Structure 1
């Protein structure tokens, strides 16, 4: 009996190991290189929604959620204010660099250079410069309000529901905020335009949109200053999983 158990027990261990190893893995729509790292981005709780422990206040401007994506997309592009180009010594890809080089004046917010250059009449001196479009009045007001509130590195737990995702209401706003600054207009960065569904779908089908968003090996990282928030990545990933519909 003892010998019989010793023969069966290793087989039972092998079965348990295979059951654990065969758990569901992420499936990508597109042609991601199998050598790329897996997407480990998840939402808290594992149910498609976040568990909010630090709710956002509508009266506060949160740097990570609102200011950083805007400056990365519109200003911290190659040849301008990214870490490599550092045009005029200004780097706008992180909180530390923005605070150090953006000439922010908390005591006189409207005179902060990072704000005044947004409304210059000369398109070549304006930020972002031509042929890029100027920031909207809403975006400029957001930057000013952030400085007026002390230019703080505030964060909060924004609600994140990844179960119901639509292109027009969820995906396009994310890509507009995070990518459109570099990938739009008459001369988009890398000749890659991401302004319409057809343009975006082209890079979804090739796998390069997801690869770039995940900062995966073999793809150009987007945005270049750092990854999108985990919630935004999860929304794009789930939209692609469900067929990347124009809904």
Structure 2
């Protein structure tokens, strides 16, 4: 089944309504990158930022192209406008997430694991940590790498049926079916190919790491094993 490039780009997100309590967008602090935090630290760039970009920063909600209620959640600086370091309960964005107001109820929701990671990150001081990648290109089965990768980077738009633009990637079978029918398009999208207009590259906010792209490519070329 052939789909247009715009379908994979999630154009239908334009019609998703992001309605929840008004979010305070006052500036809290300037980001200061911290490279190689301790092993127990949550890595902002790898574990937190992609979640905000996928689940909150999509087109029609809090992305740079729409910024619902004047709030864009695609950078550390902007995310920190609603975060109180060390205090999850006093962090506006975390409260919105845990009470089910953000993402909106008609959109894919964060998992309990993702919420726990956000809470731990805030408790650790909500630092702008950049880490040496723990990604391993020798691991590329669905259960040991791809499921988590898709959940973090894609499922904010494509994690619940019918999926943005009719693209649903929330299960192994669903991902296999879509990619089998649209392999070239999918690979071009995750590689942010110059052959595609910027809004059609996935994830739209920023390209995944080279290691993650390699994992996905190896998985696809190996017939997407579980």
TM-score category of the 2 structures, normalised to the smaller one: 0.7 to 0.9
Query: Any unmatched runs of 5+ in structure 2?
Result: 1-34
Tell me how many residue pairs correspond in the alignment.
Answer: 187
Residues in 1 aligned to 2:224 and 2:114: alpha-carbon distance in whole angstroms: 28
Partner residue, 1:77: 58
Match of 1:208 in 2: 185
Task: List 4+ stretches of structure 1 deviating above 3 A.
Answer: 54-58
* d(CA) in 2 for partners of 1:228, 1:89: 26
Using the size of structure 1 for normalisation, the TM-score is 0.68
CA distance in 2, matches of 1:105, 1:55: 23
Gaps of 5+ in 1: 1-53
| One of 77, 92, 95 as aligned partner of 1:116 | 95
Instruction: Report the Cα distance in structure 2 between the residues aligned to 1:141 and 1:195, rounded to whole angstroms.
Output: 20
Matched, 1:237 2:217: yes
CA 1:56–1:170: 2 relative to 1, 3 Å: farther
SS at the partner of 1:182?
helix
Shift of the 141–196 alpha-carbon distance from structure 1 to 2, 3 Å rule, reads: closer
Partner of 1:98: 79
- Distance in 1, matches of 2:165 and 2:61, equals 14
- Give me the whole-angstrom Cα distance separating, in 2, the residues matched to 1:187 and 1:202: 14
Asked if 1:185 corresponds to 2:156, the answer is no
Per the alignment, residue 137 of structure 1 pairs with 112
**Corresponding residue for 1:197?**
172
